[in-house]
Structures are given as structure tokens and as C-alpha cells.
Homo-oligomer: A and B are copies of this chain.
Amino acid sequence: MPIDPRFDADEAALLTDLYELTMAASYFAIGLNGPAGFSLSVRRMPQRRGFLVAAGLDRLLEALEEFRFAPAAIDYLASLKLFAPAFLDYLAAFRFTGDVVAMPEGTIFFEEEPILEIHAPLIEAQLIETLVVNQIGLASLVASKAARSFHAARGRRLVDFGLRRSHGADAGLVAARASYLAGFNGTSNVLAGRRYAIPLHGTMAHSYVMAHETEIAAFEHFVALFPELGSLLVDTYDTLRGVENAARVALELRARGGKLQAIRLDSGDLPDLSARARRILDQRGLNDVAIFASGNLDEFRIDELARAGAPIDAFGVGTAMVVSADAPALDISYKLAEYNGVGRLKTSPGKLTLPGRKQVFRARNANGGFFADRIGLAEEAAATVAREFRPAPSTVAPLLERRFQAGRRLEPRPTLAESRERFLAEFARLDRRHKDLERPERYSVRHTIALGAMLTAEKLRAEKRQD
């Protein structure tokens, strides 16, 4: 099967860094397992990014509910000769019993803002670190990248074509889901279609045309079987002759009462070819045949094509989106912020963290547009924080919501379609200055006065931890 078949439940909890287990073993040995709070945030925006899109929460919470060390996993850990039997017994009985507060999927967020906080006994919160960072990091990375194509496309349709270049099986699924969340209209990924009910797209590759003796035979065979589905790939040989052949087939299909949906251009000078293809189609009365473009597209190229007025109705976006090519990782980290009710922070150069249980407060104007956030303490009231914004906002509301309690998911559990609606609504309320593809304006994010005071106090306390 297309992925390693042994990647099953017996091994899943082992998908972690060894140090999570050695730290946990040490905490277990010394009985250090009080209530801890960890905070997940992006320390610095990737280049050219003016906003980020939170994604991946649903998959994460499901995984947390089911997190187990199966007997086979325990056997392997025992074989390492690192861990005491009592600790292995602890792992064998391990369940994640903590709480999660998080921004719902589809929320727009910015640097330094906690997008998720875990409150759990220290060992539990530590053992899930790798999972949390890996899953939320990737989904948010891709959603943030895909939203840029959505912005550039100005309403034209977008399809995820990236599975083959995604970083493995899991990444292909995450990318299909995250791009749909961020405004895409469908995916070529069949498993993603099944699992997430995302509309599927796809017709033919060049090999299909090449396997036939002639291009026209390939087109005819395809529409004979799929009269409703067809988008004919016209650039296997000479593109404009390919368009002529597609037009011929479209007219034959029309004569039989059918309709060709689209032609697809996958190479060459797209503004020129799409204009010429449009003319060829229109001259034959095929105004209703759409032009679909693909081939190394990204938000920059889509923006160019849209600005140039290229008559392209839909885009297939692959590699650049699924690997987030210009920024293939988020500087995301999961940091201890509180232990036994006391704030913690590290003071490593350039890596200062924010102590305590936190909340993100978002200020909106009367139209719902949002213009500034404050990172504050969880116990602060929105009404109080509202006074710290200039100009005075129409509303201020917290972004982090409790979504998981004592090891179980809470209601509501938004569907992917609902999360997509949230994204679309919120994205429309974000000023375009922050959406510029090359030089976005920085969105205003500051600490509340209360968080600032806690930070100062905890810095002093942290210095004492080396005495």
C-alpha cells in the first residue's frame, strides 16, 4: 500500500523525540509531576508573511484522545535499556488527561501569539510536545501559504494538486485539508476527499495523451467515458494545436448533447496561451469551456496572471503551496509557561518566552474588521483590556477557547466546512495591507500591561534559578 503498512497504532506514540521520554523518566523518578502549562506560538513570522492561519486542531485533539503506548511500543522502549520498569509501567497505562485551550481552526493569527495552550501534569504535557508541534505547525504553515493563493486568485477557483510533491503521505493529507480550509475549492488527493469530504478534481496527465496514437483519439476516448468531468490537457505536444483538437472534441460532444468543462494548460507562456486558447474556443462558440491552468504556480504567479487579465478560470496549485516553498517551516515552539501555578520563562538570547496562562484579545471596529491584538493573562477581562487599545475598539474578544478538558474533546467540534467559513469570514475582515504578498504591513500585537508586569517579575525570578 502507498504508505508503510507498519505505521499503525502500535507504534504511533513512538513518533516522538527521545528527550521527551528521558525527561519524563526523570520527572517520574523524582516525582516532579505538578500542573504545568505549555504555550505554542510562532516566534517570528516567516519572510513575506503578514498573517498566519491556525489549522490542525481537530486532528490533534483526536490524536490526544487516543494517545497510547501499545505493548509493542513498550517492548521497544524496554529494549533500549534506558528506562526503569516502573516508568515503563507508567507509560503502558498512560492517558492524556489534560486540558487544551486553542484558537479555532481558520483563525488568523500573528507572531508571538499563543495559538494553543496545554494544561496538564508535567509529564503528560511533555510527552505530547513533538506531536503538538509537528501537527499544528505543518497544518498552520500550509493553510497560511494557501491563503496567499486564495488572496491572489481574486475569486478564481483553486485546486490542490500537490500530493506527489508533498513531504510524504501525512503531509499530502494535511495539505489538502489545510488548503481547503484556506479557501481552495478542491483537491486531487482521493484519500483527502474521502476523509475530509473535500471535492475531488482531476482528469488526465500527459502520459494519457502520449499512450494514445494521436492526441485527438486520447481526447475522444476521455470524453466518451467522462462526458461531464472532462478537462482536456492540451500541451503534450504543440499547445495551440492541442486547443484546436480539444475544440473539435468539444463540438462533437455538444452535438451529442454533452459539454466539455475545460481545457488545461500546464506549461508555456500562460498569459499568451490562455488568450489565444480563449480566442480559439470563442471563435467556435465554445464560450462555456473554461480554461484551467497549472504548472509551477504559486501566489506570485497567480497574482501576475490575474493582474495581466489572463482569461484563466481556475488554477491547479501544487508543489509551491504544499511545501510552502518560500518558507517551508514555521519557527513554532512549545514552551513551558507555568509550573505549579508559577510563571516560567527562559531567557536564552533571542528566545525569551512568555510566562503564565495567557489569552489573546482581538480588537475590532464597528464593521468587524480587526486591527490590533493584545497578548494578556488568561484571567484578564476583555472589557479591561479593551481600554489598552488605541483607537478605542468597538469590541474586544478573546481568541483562545477551551476545546478539550480532562482528556476529552468538548463541543462544539466544528466541521471542516464550518472552519472554512470561519476562515473566509475572518480573512475578509483583515485589512489588505497585511495581505500584500511581498511587503505586508505588520499587524499590531502587544502585551497587556498585566502580562508586561508578570514578564518583568519572572525575569528577575529566572535569574535566581542559576544561583
Contacts and interface: CB of A to CB of B under 8 A. Distances in A.
Interface of A: 1-9, 11-23, 25-27, 29-30, 32, 36, 38, 59, 62-63, 66-68, 76-77, 80, 82, 122, 126, 129-131, 133-135, 137-138, 161, 163-174, 188-191, 193-195, 200-216, 221-222, 224-226, 229, 235-239, 241-242, 245, 266-268, 319-320, 323-325, 328-330, 332, 335-336, 339, 344-351, 462-467
A108 to B, nearest CB: 22
Contact of A169 (B26, B36, B134, B335): B134
Contact of A134 (B16, B172, B203): B172
B7 A208 contact: no
A296 to B, nearest CB: 9
Contacts of A130: 2, 163-164
A351 B330 CA distance: 33
A22 B202 contact: yes
Most buried by B among A5, A15, A200: A15
The 5 closest A-B pairs by CB, nearest first: A168-B170, A1-B12, A18-B202, A167-B167, A19-B202
Contacts of A215: 465-466
20 contacts: A1-B66, A2-B134, A3-B12, A4-B173, A15-B190, A18-B193, A19-B202, A32-B212, A134-B172, A135-B168, A167-B168, A167-B171, A207-B335, A210-B345, A211-B336, A213-B465, A236-B346, A237-B346, A237-B347, A268-B350
Contacts of A77: 190
Contacts of A15: 2-3, 163, 169, 172-173, 189-191
A310 to B, nearest CB: 17
Contacts of A21: 190, 202
Contacts of A212: 32, 465
A178 to B, nearest CB: 11
A25 B348 contact: no
B17 A161 contact: yes
A138 B172 CA distance: 12
Given A17-B188, A22-B202, 16 more contacts: A2-B15, A6-B195, A18-B201, A20-B205, A25-B226, A26-B221, A32-B221, A126-B208, A134-B163, A165-B330, A167-B174, A171-B171, A206-B335, A267-B349, A268-B349, A324-B328
Nearest to A342: B213
Contact of A200 (B80, B137, B166, B242): B80
A194 B161 contact: no
B19 A205 contact: yes
Given A12-B3, A18-B193, A237-B463, A205 B170 contact: no
